[in-house]
A and B are shown apart, each in its own frame.
Chain A
Amino acid sequence: MPDTPQARLVVNGTPRSFAGDPRRTLLDFLRLDLGLTGTKKGCDHGQCGACTVIVNGRRINACLSLVAMHDGDDVTTIEGLGSPEALSALQRAFVTHDGFQCGYCTPGQICSATAMLDELRAGWPSVVTEGLSGPSDPSDDELRERMSGNLCRCGAYSNIIAAIREVLQTEPREASA
C-alpha cells in the first residue's frame, strides 16, 4: 500500500504542502485547504472554466486535476494576479468594461485571459487562425474561440471581449520571456 500522497507546490509565490486523501482535487485544495476562494467551482467537470488557474504558466481546469499530481508545480490563482490596491491590467479592464454581471465566472475568465494573451504572444494557432500561423491582429472571433473554455451564464461576453481587447491593444506585443 503506497503512503499517503504528498505534494509540495508554490501557490501565488508561497510554498505550500499537501498530504492527505488522493481524491483531493487542486480546486478543493485551493478553496478548502488554503482558503483561496477566488477560484470557483462551477460544473466540477471541466466544462465551464470557473475553476481556471495557471499552473507553470498554463491555464488549466483545477477541478479535473488531483493536487497530489502537482508536486513541484507553480500555481497562480486570481488572488496572485493582483490585489484590490494593485489590480492587474485585465482585472482593471474587466471593471472598466463591466465584463461581468454576477461575477461568479470572473476569476476563471481573468486567469484564462491572462494565459491566453501569453499564448497569443507565443504565436500559438487556433482553429480560427488562417493557415495555422499565430494571428497578428486577432479578430473578435479569434478571441471568442480562444476563450471558449470559459462560460458566462449572465452572457457578459461582449464586455469580456472588450476588456481583453483593451489590454491586447495597450500592452506591447512581444514574446513572453
Chain B
Amino acid sequence: MREFTYSRAASLDQALGTHARPIAGATNLVDLMKLEVETPDALIDITRLDLSRIERAGDGVRIGALVPNADCAADPLIRRHWPVLSSAILAGASPQLRNKATTGGNLCQRTRCGYFTDLSTCCNKRTPGSGCDALKGVNHNHAILGTSDACIATYPGDMAVALAALDACVQIQGPDGMRQVPLREFHRLPGTAEAPDNVLQPGEIITAVTLPAPPPGRQIYRKVRERSSYAFALVSIAAVIKVESGLISHARLAFGGLAHKPWHDPAVEAALIGQPPGQAVFQRAADILLKDARGFGGNNFKIPLTRRTLAAVLIEATRD
C-alpha cells in the first residue's frame, strides 16, 4: 500500500472541497489500495458524520449514505415496501462485507475486471491510454451493452440495479451546495479511455439515496452467477411489474452484469406496458434489450443467458 495521510471529518463541511478521498466502509477502497490500483495520497474518514439513518420522506424514503448494506436490507420499511432492494443487497457480497459496506460507497464500487486489478496488464480505466487487454482476453464476465473500444468492464454491484428499477435519486453534497442525480444517470458508460465511473466530482460526497413512493406490482431480483453465493452477477435483473385486467400496467426493469452501469432501457418497458403477458411479448422485449448487444468471445453466452433470464423473471412477475 502506498503512503497516505489520514484525517477524520468531524462535520460534513470538513469533508467537502478537499482533494482527500472519502473513506467509509473501506471494503473496496482498502482492497484496491493494497493492490496499488488505488493510490490516494490522503484519506478523509467520513464514518463519524450523521448520515446513517433511514427515514421516511413524504411517501418515499431517504437512505443515508452511511447506512450499512446489511442494515438497509434488514430495515422493516425497506423489506415491506421496496423488497427488491433488500433482495438485491442480500444477493451480493458476504455478510461480513455487507456489515461494513455503505449505501454511498457501494454506488462507487469499482469494476471487478481482472485486468483493472492486475498492474502488469493494459487497462484504460487504471492507466488511461494504455489499452484494454480484456477486449481479446479473459472476458467471460464483461459487458455486452454500452461498451467502447476503450473499455468493456461492468459495474459489478447489485444494490444499484434495484435502485435503477425503483427510480432512485442520489443526493450529492459539494462545496457549492446539494445536487440530485437520478440513479440511472449517476454511473457513466466507458466512452473514451479517460471516462470516470460516475458523475461524482472530486470534493463531493454522496449524502443519501432517495426512493419515491413504493411502486405498484410485484418486485423481483434475479441474479445468475457462477456459484450460489458470494459471486458477482453474470446477469441480474431487478423487475417491478404490475398486471391489471390481464394486461401489464406497470413495468420497471434494470439489468446488472451487462454494462458499465446498471442498464435501463425505457423501450423495453414500453414494449411490455399494455400487453398481455406471454412468450411473444417477452421475446420482443428481449429483442429490444439486446438489439445492440455485442459479445467479445468469452462473454458471448451472456446474450442468450440474458434473454432466458428475462423471460424467466417476466413469467414469475406476471404469474397469477
B26, A64: Cβ atoms closer than 8 Å: yes
Q: Digit string of A1-26 for contact with B (CB within 8 Å is 1, else 0)?
A: 11001000000000000000111010
Contacts of A123 in B (CB 8 A): 74
Shortest Cβ distance from residue A23 to the other chain B in the assembled complex, whole angstroms: 5
**In the complex, how many residues of chain B place their beta carbon closer than 8 angstroms to a beta carbon of chain A?**
36
Asked whether B199 is an interface residue with its Cβ less than 8 Å from the other chain, the reply is no
Q: How far is the CB of B305 from chain A (nearest CB, A)?
A: 19
Min CB distance A143 to B, Å, is: 12
Select the stretch in B90-98, B263-271, B296-304 that faces chain A.
B90-98
A22, A112, A126, A133: residue with the most chain B Cβ atoms closer than 10 Å? A22
Among A30-38, A44-52, A79-87, A96-104, the stretch that binds chain B is A44-52
Task: Report B161 CB to chain A, min CB distance, Å.
Answer: 14
Q: A49 contacts B30, CB within 8 Å?
A: no
Interface string of B219-233 (1 = CB under 8 A from A): 000000000111000
Q: A58-B99, A69-B23, A119-B95 are in contact. Are A127 and B229 (CB under 8 A)?
A: yes
Cα A27 to Cα B167 in complex, Å, equals: 39
Q: Which of A22, A64, A116, A133 contacts B100 (CB 8 A)?
A: A64
Residue pair B95, A59 in contact (C-beta under 8 Å): yes
Give Cα A133–Cα B95 distance, bound, in whole angstroms: 17
Is B43 part of the binding interface, using a Cβ–Cβ cutoff of 8 Å? yes
Q: Which one, A22, A122, A148, contacts B43 given CB within 8 A?
A: A22
Q: CB-CB < 8 A to A44: which residues of B?
A: 34
| 9-residue interface stretch from B3-11, B57-65, B280-288 | B3-11
Minimum CB–CB distance from A21 to chain B (whole Å) comes to 8
Chain A residues closer than 8 Å to B83, beta-carbon distance: 132
Q: CB distance B86 to A132 under 8 Å?
A: yes
**Cα distance, A162 to B31, chains bound together (Å):** 33
Contact A23 to B27, CB < 8 A, known contacts A112-B95, A132-B87: no
B198 CB–A CB distance under 8 Å: no
- Among B106-160, those with CB < 8 Å from A are none
Give min CB distance, A125 to chain B, whole Å. 6
What's the nearest-Cβ distance from chain A to residue B71, in Å?
9
**A:122-151 near B, CB below 8 Å:** 122-127, 132-133, 144-146, 148-149
Is the CB of A66 closer than 8 A to any CB of chain B?
Answer: yes
Asked if A65 and B100 sit within 8 Å, CB to CB, the answer is yes
Interface residues of A in 37-92 (CB under 8 A from B): 44-46, 49, 52, 58-61, 64-66, 68-69, 71
Whether B253 is near chain A, meaning CB under 8 Å from some CB there, is no
Complex partner residue of B229 from A49, A68, A132, A145, CB under 8 angstroms: A145
Q: A69 contacts which of B45, B86, B95 (Cβ < 8 Å)?
A: B45
Give Cα A23 to B26, complex, Å.
12
B165 within 8 A of A: no
B5 touches A112 (CB 8 A): no
Q: B47 at the A/B interface (Cβ < 8 Å)?
A: yes
- CB pair A22 B6 closer than 8 Å: yes
- Chain B contacts of A132 at CB under 8 A? 79, 83, 86-87
CB-based contact B86/A64 at 8 Å: no
B90 (CB) vs chain A CBs: closest residue:
A127
Chain B residues with CB under 8 Å of A119's CB are: 95
Task: Give every chain B residue within 8 A of A5 (Cβ-Cβ).
Answer: 6-8
Counting from the closest, the 7 A-B pairs by CB-CB distance are: A149-B94, A22-B6, A148-B229, A127-B90, A2-B7, A58-B99, A148-B230
22 contacts between A and B (CB under 8 A): A1-B5, A2-B5, A5-B7, A23-B3, A59-B99, A60-B96, A60-B99, A61-B27, A61-B96, A61-B97, A64-B27, A66-B23, A66-B26, A68-B45, A69-B26, A112-B95, A112-B96, A124-B70, A124-B73, A124-B74, A125-B90, A149-B96
